[in-house]
Amino acid sequence: MIVKKVPNSKTKHKTGSIRDLADYIREPHNQNPDEKVLYANGRGFLCDGHAAQREEMVALAAESVRSKNPVNHYIMSWREGEQPSPEQVEEAVSIFMDELGVKDHQAIYGLHADTDNLHLHLAINRVHPETLKVVKINNGFDIEAAHKAIARIENAQGWQREQNGRYQVLENGELGREHIDKDKPRQPAQPKRDMENRTGEKSAERIAIEDGAPIIKKAQTWEQLHRELAAKGMRYEKTGSGATLFVGDVGVKASSADRDASLSKLQKRLGAYQPPPQRQQVAQREPEPIKPDVPGWKDYITGRKAHYAAKNAAKLALDKQQEQERKQLAEQQKARRDELMRGNWNGKGEVLNAMRSVIAAEQAAEKAALKEKHKKQREQWRQQFRPYPDLEQWQRMQKSPELAEQWRHRASEPQRIEGASGEPPTPRDIRAYQPEIVGQQVHYSRKEEAGEGGGVSFVDKGKSIDIHDWRNRDSTLAALQLSAQKWGSFTVTGNDEYKAMCAKLAAEHGFKITNPELQERIQQERQRIQQERAQAMKSEQLKQFELYAEAVGAERYRVTSIKMQADGRKQTFILDKKDGITRGFTLQEIEQRTPEMLRLQRRGENLYYTPLSDKKHHILIDDMNREKLERLIRDGYRPAVVLESSPGNYQAIITVPKLGTAHDKDVGNRLSDALNREYGDPKLSGAIHPHRAPGYENRKPKHQREDGSYPEVRLLKVERRECVKALALSSQIDAEYQRQAALKAQQPERSKAKPALELAAASGSAIDAYQRHYRDVIKRQRGGEVDLSRVDSMIAVRMRVTGHDQAAIEGAIRQCAPATRQKDEGRDWNDYAQRTARYAYSAAGDRQAAELGKYRQQWEKLEGREPVRQQEQAKAQKIERDNSPGMSR
């Protein structure tokens, strides 16, 4: 999911702005006939009905005299193929408003369907209905709170996270923020990126970042800076107390290009500002595409520029004409007044006043008529020069829908590695990836996702390797390892973000990348890594971690940083989280990250480790005093690690092997709950839980000493062992789950989602196929809330792969999907079935079907079509034998 805040109009009065927004949310078809409302509602009102609630919102907003417009407009958007029910919309609004701290406020919201992505428009009145005070959401950082709300909605309803989601809900229910990569290439502001997405043209801000910033960084004098910028079609000028970097005639704030490009920093480095020579020639820049080789882009951008040039010229001509007509009318009216008022009017005051009144009325009517004429002319100008279509719309208008789809989904295009030789691809052993031969290619997928319909991570094509999951660092690393095995040295091609990641990985792992433009960056990364490793070797914290890790024996370790605010709030960051995924660090990666962790401690943050293993539980027993710790050991439990997290307060980590049953997760949670209720913190839940990192400070405010220092988390005991008594307890818990499962199997199955067995069966039909896929998909869900609209999307794509047409899929979903819901969701099931089936045959469905084609035989067998196929083949062979001349009798 994504969330955006729509800025309020700067020209409309708040009354008109609120009315227009409320009308648009509930009745968008009045503005756009293609925009459809699937569900709309309001909350926090005394009245019912749209008009009454709209006026009630206007009236309450009017109480805030000092606020120009206290109503905020947010948009939440779901991924293509995800379709929230009205009940889920209500829950999402509740979570969103609660996270923003406005749960008691007025809100009007509507779910719209004018694009492939369903999106919810939400208008929230910040005026409190009782205190009449305007609430400042999250101290003005409402977008930050909105991102937190999105993470909670995704977690509660099971929606797929965005690759670059800012927050994620951890196992303990807290929010963790993705670690900010300071080396990630700088990006233009969001409005500029939105315009780039619409037009395909690089913004002036992007050009300033990519071309201007490097020139400014390398410049040794003002003369060199101005000369090299002019050669690139740019100029640097002092404006007010700051500076502006002009790209052509478009100005960009200098610090937006780079922090070191600000006037104050340049003056410290180059001396007092010196303007460029007056006769210096500045090169002309042509429009540049953000993605090279987009078919038709030059024609599009030429037409767009010509359209707006003609529009501006027509507006200037119209303004000039209207100004002349106003001036001409004013002169004519003045001449007429002078003519009528000429002469001696002494003693004729009443007649004079009457004459003046008549003239004023006549001339006011003439002005009104001219004003109305000008208004119609401006409306004609607006109709003549409608907004130029964006690139995707333009390509569709040119009858090139395939190019439009390519542009729409360009971000999902694979990045590439190219080698010198074209040896045939052969399966190789690459870490956690499973190779599979598909035609003349070898597809690599994650082993844990093999057989579950997971996507392909990268594809070996012989002379090149395409990386589909390139945003995932592990996938890119595995592809680079494969390239090193095949070719030794190689070239990487793709976008800047991908190349930057490859440069980092090359520095860390010694890959030989031949790109000339990346050599300097790779060398800089190597120097940085060497410096940090040298510093880490001196770190006492790293030595303590090695002792701790040897005792715990986990496969990976998640590192979490928590900053305590003065008001008691906590800000959480996960250091390894990339693209919404956290897998933890290896021992070597912890060594590399130790300098960064030390910097976080110096900034006043608390550091935590979370041990992660596939075959072991690492149970934390938290918040023990000395007496409870001694009793734990007396009772026969043997911790691998004991920490003193603060003076007189202890934590213990017990290692227990997993039993390898279907109940491992529940067993771990129950085991953690039982041990903490008996010895530790009864509020602690979950088998996976962070604990304080040994060697780092416990910077809780209550532990601060008189001298301002904080106590260090001490490593009291380390012993590599597994706890036999805890293993026995986990076996008892597992046996209880096994008994419950056996009893449940004897009773009619009752799950949150109705089993497909309750649906009418039609063997061999699309309905029967839906039922079989439904059972299979539900069986593969790993606990938690199951979003059935996503399940339906998955089934639709599966059925497309096995050969069902769009109409058959639509009919099966229309008939079967309502029966899988426990409650009536209030949907338009015809529309729902159409959208879901259409998704399976959209561009996104094309890509997914291509990736999942390797499971076709498996899914045909699931549908019960394999025996039929075998019978048909046998029958065909028999007919062929009977008709063969050699077999005739």
Q: pLDDT tens-digit profile of 249-306?
A: 999 999 999 999 999 999 999 999 999 998 889 999 999 998 888 889 999 999 999 9
419 shares a domain with 383: no
- The residue among 217, 251, 270 that closes a domain is 270
Q: Closest by alpha carbon to 859, among 847, 849, 874? A: 849
* Location of structure tokens 């303990």: 172
In terms of phi and psi (left: phi > 0; alpha: psi -120 to 50; beta: otherwise), the region of 33 is alpha
Q: Closest by alpha carbon to 469, among 165, 851, 801, 787? A: 851
Whether 641 shows a pLDDT value over 90: the answer reads yes
| Residue 590 within any structural domain of the chain | no
Q: What angle do CA 601, 603, 608 make, to 5 degrees?
A: 35
Angle between helices 664-679 and 626-634 (to 10 degrees): 120
* Location of structure tokens 């839906």: 770
pLDDT value at position 531? 77
3-state secondary structure of 609: strand
| Residue 420 within any structural domain of the chain | yes
What confidence tens digit (pLDDT) does each residue in 664-697 have? 988 998 899 899 989 999 888 778 889 999 999 9
139 shares a domain with 10: yes
3-state secondary structure of 323: helix
* CA pair distance 136, 145, nearest whole angstrom: 12
Instruction: Specify whether the CB–CB gap between 73 and 5 falls below 8 A.
Output: yes
* CA pair distance 146, 538, nearest whole angstrom: 42
Instruction: Specify whether the CB–CB gap between 444 and 458 falls below 8 A.
Output: yes
Phi, psi of 752, deg, nearest 5: -60, -40
With a CB cutoff of 8 Å and minimum separation 6, the contacts of 766 are 799, 804, 808, 809, 811, 812
CB atoms within 10 A of CB 275: 12
With a CB cutoff of 8 Å and minimum separation 6, the contacts of 575 are 179, 558, 559, 560, 561, 585, 593, 596, 597
131, with CB counted inside 10 A (0-12, 13-18, 19+), is exposed
Whether 886 shows a pLDDT value over 60: the answer reads no
Check which CATH number belongs to the domain holding 155 and give it: 3.30.930
327 shares a domain with 240: no
Whether 223 shows a pLDDT value over 60: the answer reads yes
* CA pair distance 680, 677, nearest whole angstrom: 6
Query: Stretch 877-889: mean pLDDT, rounded?
Result: 43
pLDDT value at position 412? 66
Residue 119, H or E segment? strand 119-125
Residue 110, H or E segment? strand 107-112
pLDDT value at position 757? 36
Q: Which two tokens stand for residue 316?
A: 């200037």
Check which CATH number belongs to the domain holding 844 and give it: 1.10.1240.50
* Location of structure tokens 């020579």: 277
pLDDT value at position 404? 83
CB atoms within 10 A of CB 369: 11
* CA pair distance 130, 532, nearest whole angstrom: 56
Query: Stretch 323-345: mean pLDDT, rounded?
Result: 90
Instruction: Specify whether the CB–CB gap between 84 and 111 falls below 8 A.
Output: yes
What confidence tens digit (pLDDT) does each residue in 443-464 have? 998 877 655 555 788 999 888 9
pLDDT value at position 536? 60
Hey, what amino acid is at 224? Q
132 shares a domain with 41: yes
* Of 880 and 114, more confident: 114
3-state secondary structure 235-266: EEEEECCEEEEEECCEEEEHHHHCHHHCHHHH
145 shares a domain with 10: yes
Whether 759 shows a pLDDT value over 80: the answer reads no
Complete DSSP assignment for 668-728: HHHHHHHHHHHHS-TT---SS--EEPTTSB---GGG--TTS--PBPEEEEE-----HHHHH
Q: Which residues pair with 570 in a beta bridge?
A: 564
Instruction: Specify whether the CB–CB gap between 188 and 236 falls below 8 A.
Output: no
| Residue 108 within any structural domain of the chain | yes
Instruction: Specify whether the CB–CB gap between 244 and 251 falls below 8 A.
Output: yes
pLDDT value at position 406? 78
Phi, psi of 65, deg, nearest 5: -65, -35
Angle between helices 587-602 and 519-537 (to 10 degrees): 80
140 shares a domain with 68: yes
Mean pLDDT estimate for the chain: 86
| Residue 722 within any structural domain of the chain | no
* CA pair distance 573, 561, nearest whole angstrom: 5
20 shares a domain with 152: yes
88 shares a domain with 51: yes
* Location of structure tokens 């997928």: 445
Give 822's pLDDT tier (boundaries 50, 70, 90).
confident
- The residue among 516, 531, 546 that closes a domain is 531
* Location of structure tokens 């490793």: 533
| Residue 622 within any structural domain of the chain | no
Whether 243 shows a pLDDT value over 80: the answer reads yes
359 shares a domain with 266: no
Give 202's pLDDT tier (boundaries 50, 70, 90).
very high
3-state secondary structure of 442: strand
Q: Closest by alpha carbon to 221, among 181, 262, 270, 174? A: 270
772 shares a domain with 843: yes
| Residue 721 within any structural domain of the chain | no
Maximum mean pLDDT: which of 163-172, 343-352, 456-465: 456-465
With a CB cutoff of 8 Å and minimum separation 6, the contacts of 466 are 414, 415, 416, 458, 459
Burial 425-451 (b: 16+ CB within 10 A, else e): beeeebeebbbeeeeebbbbbbeeeee
Sheet bearing 649-657, strands edge to edge: 616-624, 649-657, 641-646, 714-718
3-state secondary structure of 682: coil
Whether 440 shows a pLDDT value over 90: the answer reads no
Whether 178 shows a pLDDT value over 80: the answer reads no
Give 889's pLDDT tier (boundaries 50, 70, 90).
very low
Alpha helices for 8-70 (secondary structure H): 14-26, 50-62
- Lowest-confidence range among 152-166, 175-189, 535-549? 175-189
* CA pair distance 310, 502, nearest whole angstrom: 45
pLDDT value at position 446? 84
154 shares a domain with 57: yes
Q: What angle do CA 835, 837, 843 make, to 5 degrees?
A: 90
Angle between helices 190-199 and 297-341 (to 10 degrees): 110
End-to-end CA distance of the chain: 70
**3-state DSSP percent of the chain in helix, strand and coil, to 5:** 50, 15, 35
In terms of phi and psi (left: phi > 0; alpha: psi -120 to 50; beta: otherwise), the region of 852 is alpha
Instruction: Specify whether the CB–CB gap between 176 and 573 falls below 8 A.
Output: yes
3-state secondary structure of 460: strand
Whether 751 shows a pLDDT value over 50: the answer reads no
590, with CB counted inside 10 A (0-12, 13-18, 19+), is buried
Whether 87 shows a pLDDT value over 50: the answer reads yes
3-state secondary structure of 3: strand
- Lowest-confidence range among 327-336, 575-584, 854-863? 575-584
Q: Closest by alpha carbon to 470, among 501, 441, 448, 438? A: 501
- The residue among 255, 270, 285 that closes a domain is 270
Q: Closest by alpha carbon to 586, among 607, 613, 567? A: 613
Complete DSSP assignment for 179-206: PP-TTSPP---HHHHHHHHHH-BPPHHH
What confidence tens digit (pLDDT) does each residue in 605-637 have? 999 999 999 999 999 999 999 999 999 999 999
Into how many domains does the chain fold?
5
pLDDT value at position 783? 57
3-state secondary structure of 377: helix
Give 723's pLDDT tier (boundaries 50, 70, 90).
very high
362 shares a domain with 436: no
Whether 726 shows a pLDDT value over 50: the answer reads yes
Residue 234, H or E segment? strand 234-239
Q: What domain range includes position 327?
A: 297-341+349-392
Phi, psi of 237, deg, nearest 5: -130, 145
| Residue 249 within any structural domain of the chain | yes
| Residue 664 within any structural domain of the chain | no
Instruction: Specify whether the CB–CB gap between 407 and 294 falls below 8 A.
Output: yes
- Lowest-confidence range among 299-313, 609-623, 653-667, 743-757? 743-757
Give 750's pLDDT tier (boundaries 50, 70, 90).
very low
